[in-house]
Structure 1
Amino acid sequence: MLSQYQHIQVSVDGSKEADLAFSKAAAIAKRNHASLDILHVIDTRSFQNVSSFDSAMVEQVSSDAKKRMEEYSDRAKKAGISEVHYSIEFGSPKTIIAHDFPSKHNIDLIVVGATGLNAVERLLIGSVTEYVTRTANCDVIVCRTKEVEDALSAE
């Protein structure tokens, strides 16, 4: 890598793809002596389909996200990264991950996991990862799962 990254963003959602992305982002942050911003976006569209909107449900989702983010933050600090921040945002994951958060925090590298959606879901709603790689104003690294990497190397 020719660039010296200073502000790295990794987006996590609890999936194995996001966990791999976190591990790779942490390693890059450590190598570059960079800050690591761990981002979780709660998609507010998922609450629009709930007929009886329940604020307790939003609080539970937020509480679970906060717990997960604190665990990621602790892992990063134990890995030797001195500047670690985490944020929980509400809204559209695509725009927050690709544009809103990076511009507010001077991000120069976004690390994301490969999509967990199947082909039909990608066709209907689009992949967040695909959108980020296509529209972000900074470098983007897409991390694939270990299983996918092993399968590709066996070919």
Structure 2
Amino acid sequence: MLKQYSHIQIAVDGSKEADLAFTKAVAIAKRNNASLEILHVIDTRSFQNVSSFDSAMVEQVSADAKKKLEEYYDRAVKAGIKDVHYSIEFGSPKTIIAHDFPKKHQTDLIVLGATGLNAVERLLIGSVTEYVTRTAECDVIVIRQK
């Protein structure tokens, strides 16, 4: 018996893997007649290393993320998803994707790509995907490249 999901979260970071995961999350949401929450997390730790921190930099990163999320939103609506939303969060991607956002939105399925953009973090402290699959309280589907 297949589980019926009602609140699906898709985490995107601009990578090809995230785009593929988004496509599959839309298909899952459509099959389940579920809501779709598109999430992008801006890792604020990356700004701590910039010596000439400037709020314009954060604004530019946020504007770029919003533009991409609006494109994802449009794709989901065109695919027939009736209940779709997007969010930009700031902080640690691991904890926001695995814990904070799902609790706020009653997420019962998290979809994400097997790898993302940050290869350095993956080498040093482990991948976001690995952390989410290990610690999330709801089901997690990891999408690999074709």
When the two structures are superposed, what TM-score results if normalisation uses the length of structure 1?
A: 0.90
Q: Distance in 2 between matches of 1:121 and 1:93?
A: 11
Tell me the residue number matched to 1:152: none
Question: Could you tell me how far 1:2 is from its partner in structure 2?
Answer: 1.2
Question: Could you tell me how far 1:46 is from its partner in structure 2?
Answer: 0.4
The number of equivalent residue pairs is 145
Tell me the residue number matched to 1:75: 75
Q: Distance in 1 between matches of 2:141 and 2:56?
A: 36
Q: Which has the larger radius of gyration?
A: 1
Q: Secondary structure at the match of 1:52?
A: coil
Q: Does 1:63 align with 2:63?
A: yes
When the two structures are superposed, what TM-score results if normalisation uses the length of structure 2?
A: 0.96
Q: Distance in 1 between matches of 2:126 and 2:88?
A: 22
Question: Could you tell me how far 1:125 is from its partner in structure 2?
Answer: 2.0
Q: Distance in 2 between matches of 1:36 and 1:122?
A: 27
One-letter amino acid of the structure 1 residue matched with residue 28 of structure 2: I
One-letter amino acid of the structure 1 residue matched with residue 136 of structure 2: A
Q: Distance in 1 between matches of 2:97 and 2:58?
A: 20
> Unaligned regions of 5+ residues in structure 2, if any?
none
Question: Could you tell me how far 1:121 is from its partner in structure 2?
Answer: 4.6
Tell me the residue number matched to 1:100: 100
Question: Could you tell me how far 1:17 is from its partner in structure 2?
Answer: 0.5
> Unaligned regions of 5+ residues in structure 1, if any?
147-155
Tell me the residue number matched to 1:150: none
Q: Secondary structure at the match of 1:39?
A: strand
Deviations 1:35-94 (Å, cap 9, x if unpaired)? 000000000000000011111110000000000000000000000000000000000000
Tell me the residue number matched to 1:131: 131
Tell me the residue number matched to 1:48: 48
One-letter amino acid of the structure 2 residue matched with residue 58 of structure 1: V
Q: Does 1:25 align with 2:25?
A: yes
Q: Secondary structure at the match of 1:102?
A: helix
Question: Could you tell me how far 1:115 is from its partner in structure 2?
Answer: 1.5
Question: Could you tell me how far 1:141 is from its partner in structure 2?
Answer: 0.2
Q: Does 1:38 align with 2:7?
A: no
Tell me the residue number matched to 2:84: 84
Q: Distance in 2 between matches of 1:51 and 1:92?
A: 20
Deviations 1:113-143 (Å, cap 9, x if unpaired)? 002465x753412100000000000000000
Q: Does 1:5 align with 2:15?
A: no
